[in-house]
Structure formats: structure tokens, C-alpha cells
Amino acid sequence: MSTSTATPDDVGFDALTAPFRRELFAHCYRMVGSVQDAEDLVQETYTRAWRGFGGFEGRSSVRRWLHAIATSACLSALAARPRRALPCGLGPPADDHRVAVAGRDPSVPWLQPVPDALVDPAAVVASRAGVRLAFVAALQLLPARQRAVLTLRDVLGFPGAEVASMLGTTREAVDSALRRARRHLAEAAPAADDLAEPDAPTERALLDAYVDAFVRADTAALVGLLRADVELEMPPIPTWFSGRDAVVGFLRARVLGRGRWTMSPTRANGAPALVVRTGAGVPYGVQVLTTAGDRIALITSFNDPSLVPLFPA
């Protein structure tokens, strides 16, 4: 990503700022956990940048200037909004599929998946962990300024002194916030070794086998594809399940036997994903699969039909 300095006299606003739009969108998404909110914040960022364009004199890189504006917009937005969550952030899992499942809770602002197509493809390949669903979910647990410091430093790679300038604070305060954020994130997010990604052919074979087993309601085949400690989350349903017996038992009893499903492969948060529709073609939601080697470690089923149009299938 270019970090060249330029002045308004040298180049027009669009040519100067357009190359950073996808990176800014990814940054805003990490901060707020919503595709729609991130898009609104990027638009606000460009509006603010346009208004301040005449005063931009190349004292910093264009990239730093835009990210400072975007971070300020995100922090202002987060001050007035509750954090977005996944079910795992609200309470303990169930390990028995026979438990009563809580009803949908419309009062909870749920974390959303992001289509890979909306973020910079090179960034997804180079730093997939930066958009991974578990990472973004863990970020939402941090106080807003810690979230900003960690993303600016560890994901986007800005030096500590620059982050201090962007946030209007001291280098010591940035370093302190970064230490706390890293510590909290290490407690909340899975270790990198636990998320070792399969190669492309293995991942594709795993996805194909999962779709085949799911649409045929073949629970025996599903068992062979899931880790023993697999988890299943289904926002906006707060109840979630941990353990292969609980996950497969729930799917067998309450999902697979209730009509037919069609599933189209896509990608979300740097991971394999599926657009889910009923057999009649009615949008149902998006599943994001977290893989570990040749097994599925987590199924996050966003049962929200409004997400389907965001994902190419």
C-alpha cells in the first residue's frame, strides 16, 4: 500500500484517496463489526477528508491522514453504540442438544460477517488473521481506544509515534493500551496454532463434503468432518453449542430434518463460507466455517436473510 506524500496542488482528491477505500472499509469493519456501519463510516471519512482537503499539506502520508480521520469517526460512533457480539460472548455454551433454545433477541446488535470481495484481496492474503471472524469478535470485547490502538499498530502496521499523533495522545499511552489490548485479546481469541489453515485443495474438498452431508441430512458424514470440540453459533439465537455430540444432535433434531437446503460457496472473513437458502430458493443466511487442518472447528451460522445480498454466490 502506498504511503507517498502529496499535496492538493499535485493531484485531485479522488486520485489521491481512492486507492485506500478498501483498506479503510476493513479498518472500520474491525472497529464496529458491521458491514453497513463500516460503509457509512467510510463515507463519513471521505466527507470529512474532502472538507479538510484544502488544509492537507502533505505533512503526513495520505494513508495515515485518512486512517486518522476514519479512526476518529469510528470512536465517535462507538461512544453511542453498544458493542456487537456473537453468542459465545454472551454466556457459556450448551453441551446437550436437548436444552431449550433461547428465542431470537432483536435487542442484541450482532456481529456481522464481511464478504472477502469487499476488502482488499491482497490484504486478505497477506494478513488473513486481521479479518478472521474470531479476531474481529475478540476485538469487540476491547474498549474502543484499545481496539483502535491494536488495529492501527498490529494490523495496519503504523509506528507507535504515528498512532499517538493520530489519536492525540502520547507514545507511552499508546504502548500501555497496546499491552493491555494484546493481553485481553490473547485471552479471548484462539491461538494461531489452533487455526492452522488447510491448503486450497483440502479446504475445497472439506467444503464440498460438508455441503453434500448437510443437504442430504447425512449426520454420519457430518460427524467425520467435525472436530471433537467443534462449536456451533447461530446469531441472532443466543444459545450456542460446544462438542460434536451436541452440535450434530442439534442439527439432526432441529435443522436437517426440517425441509431442504441449498448452499452456494462464497468467502467471508478470509474463510470458506456458504450462502444458505431454503429448497424454494428463499434466502436464509450465511454460514462461515472455521477450519483446522482437515476438520471444521466452528460453524457460525448467521441466520439473517438480509445478509445474503451482500455475498456473491
pLDDT for position 3: 44
| Whether 72 and 162 share a structural domain | no
What are 13-66's pLDDT values in tens digits?
Answer: 888 899 999 999 999 999 999 999 999 999 999 999 998 887 776 667 999 999
pLDDT tens track for 139-195: 999 999 999 999 999 999 999 999 999 999 999 999 999 999 999 988 876 655 455
pLDDT at 121 over 90: no
- Same domain membership, residue 58 and residue 191: no
Q: What distance in Å separates the CA atoms of residue 102 and residue 122, rounded to the nearest whole number?
A: 40
pLDDT in tens, 251-302: 999 999 777 899 999 999 999 999 999 988 999 999 999 999 899 999 999 9
CATH number at residue 286: 3.10.450.50
pTM value is 0.90
- CATH number assigned to the domain comprising residue 33: 1.10.1740.10
Range of the domain at 111: 83-313
Q: Which of 81, 113, 143 is the last residue of a domain?
A: 81
Residue-level pLDDT at 33: 96
CB 273 within 8 Å of CB 289? yes
Do the Cβ atoms of 131 and 30 come closer than 8 Å?
yes
17 shares its domain with 113: no
Chain-centroid distance, C-alpha 74? 16
Residues 60 and 136 in one domain: no
Domains held by the chain: number: 2
Does residue 128 have a pLDDT over 70?
no
Residue 1, pLDDT score: 41
**193/155 same-domain check:** yes
3 and 123 together in one domain: no
Judge if 59 and 167 occupy the same domain.
no
In this structure, the answer to whether residues 15 and 70 fall within a common structural domain is yes
4, pLDDT greater than 60: no
